[in-house]
Structure 1
Amino acid sequence: MSLAQGYAVHSNTAPLVPFSFERRAVGANDVRIEILYSGICHSDLHQARDDWGGALYPMVPGHEIIGKVVEVGAEVTKLKVGDFAGVGCLVDSCRHCGACDHDLEQYCENGPTFTYNSTERGSDQLTFGGYSDHIVVEQRFVVKVSEKLDLKAAAPLLCAGITTYSPLRHWKVGPGQKVGVIGLGGLGHMGVKFAKALGAHVVMITTTPEKGADAKRLGADEVLVSRDAEQMKAHANSFDFLLNTIPVSHDTNPYMGLLKRDATMCLVGVLTELDPPLAGVSVIFGRKHLTGSAIGGLAETQEMMDFCAEHGIVSDVEMVDIQNVNEAWERMAKNDVRYRFVIDMASIKA
């Protein structure tokens, strides 16, 4: 066992406060990682506030973790002491179902073990996340991080990055395709970067005209203001793929009208019911598809990290000290960040 220092919430109305807890001893297949940077994801706030139900307290959030390997178990072959490593949303799964056998641990049919707000498999021990000084994880659930990357800006790749990369790869986005990214936030700005790097013609779709200049800076070829009926009409039936990153319930019907016949819109942000509901006519006429995607498996996450190193892709981040994390959460709730906060975990020693 090792004593860890972190920040936790103790109820759905409580702020983050300093918290000491025990990490398990390093097993034969485990690695211990000194956490250097921890991204702040909007889902950290949702889970801490129990917006989705099932919150377990005390809760140490954080599933966008970049650090350095400081100890490895006797059977670890994937990493060595001194390597930079990343941990995302998962730290375990059943490892034997159809999904796990196909490197899709996020869809584990027996339920994955999440990096925080979960319990260790076979016990009632809570999992604690990246708002802490170190973590112990089985090697299968750790990715290697290239020294070519700006490490602090790479942290959000472990959630925001893979959440957008995975569907773009699954639906084979590439040259010759017109791809729309709906919503310019933590997820959307990564979607634009990835779609552009994959060779697509990228259209940023937003309700806010003022975001146009930033969208083009990130790589968008065009900007479509969805509240402009004439612009929506001009782009009707023209998209090969839409990546919808909007994190709240909204009307998806107008966006379905942008798709070509047999094309797909993928939801990666909204977890609640669609309001208003999707109209059958939106998919029936044109044989269109509305689907969803969640993060990615570990093999694909490693692929994404390598892709980012090759193409120089990281998140746009603002650094904060752990002592200011509550203020960062307040700003994030107001969408007052471009585009992700990352905690410098060296500050926990202050």
Structure 2
Amino acid sequence: MSYQWPLEAKDLFAERYPQMVNAGLPAPDVDAVRAATTDMWADEPGGWVHQWSALAARYASAGSHDLAALAYGWARFPTLADGAKRAALARQTEEYLLAAPGFALPFRRDVLDLPHRGGLTRVPVHVLTPPAVAEKGPMLLVSGGVDSWKMDVHGLLTALCAHTGLPVVAFDIPGTGDSQVPMSPDGAEIVRGLIGHARTLGNGIVVHVGISMGGHYSARSGLAGEADAAIVLGGPVEAAFDGGRLARFGMDGIVGNALGFDRQPSPDDLFAALAAFSLRPLLDQEGQVPMLVVNGADDVHVPQEDTLVFEGRRATEVHLLPDTGHCAVTRLPEVLEIISEWLPRTLSTLQAGPGAVEPAT
């Protein structure tokens, strides 16, 4: 199920241009696509998917499969609202796999069948392993958000591997990317299955890292004590799901598609669906594992309350960084340093076993 909705391409370019070029696309190429794009949905010259796909095809013809994967990722952005977007995702996957032999880290794509609502659902995962890893150790389970999926955040995945020295298992949250089911609170069942799978790949310790809406799921698995530790980067927790949010940069349509609506929902219908995602019941308990919660103070999508609500909780460290926005992306090197400092302390405590002193908050 999917639908198109009123959305201006120029607004998305204004918001996402830094992300486009910082991921590795040459600025002149992005500028050319921006100048040529006049419509968000038309699958023809001037249309978003057409212009981005044309650039991707040129990269692919030149053998630049990594750039082709990035460009097809923008072609299918922001969500799979129609057949052209789904075709772009398929081409992105093809180009990403063609680029994989040139990755700095060993890579493989596994396809899992995991429990969901009494049956099984297909969940492809990408595994990246630092070359220096000689024996099984902790694993990072990582997911992006509703519009930036595991192939789109490849640079961040490799940076996490480099900074932590740990392997990464990356997946798309329900309702996005390779997922076969809509986004829903019971998507946590799929995450539990992924945590169990990641335990078999390492020494049994799993740290769940979530970015944006992926941070909602990592916050949930941390608060519920399902992972061994959790890192939440820009995750919506409860305040973000209040009525009146999601009004900027087409986020209402992006989230509505992820939720499985087949036409544009009314604001009341959208927020009725989102209300079920509030983590307040888990916040009212004290069963959480060690958690690191980070976001930018100027986030336009996730209010500060969803970060600050974690302050003072047991074994929890909170950073609300000034002068940066959603997921603190403009201060990513600092975020990686925070993770690199927190994670070894936390893993040392986890590996010491019961009775060890918890990390300081």
TM-score (norm 1): 0.29
Identify, as 1 or 2, the structure richer in helix. 2
Identify, as 1 or 2, the structure richer in strand. 1
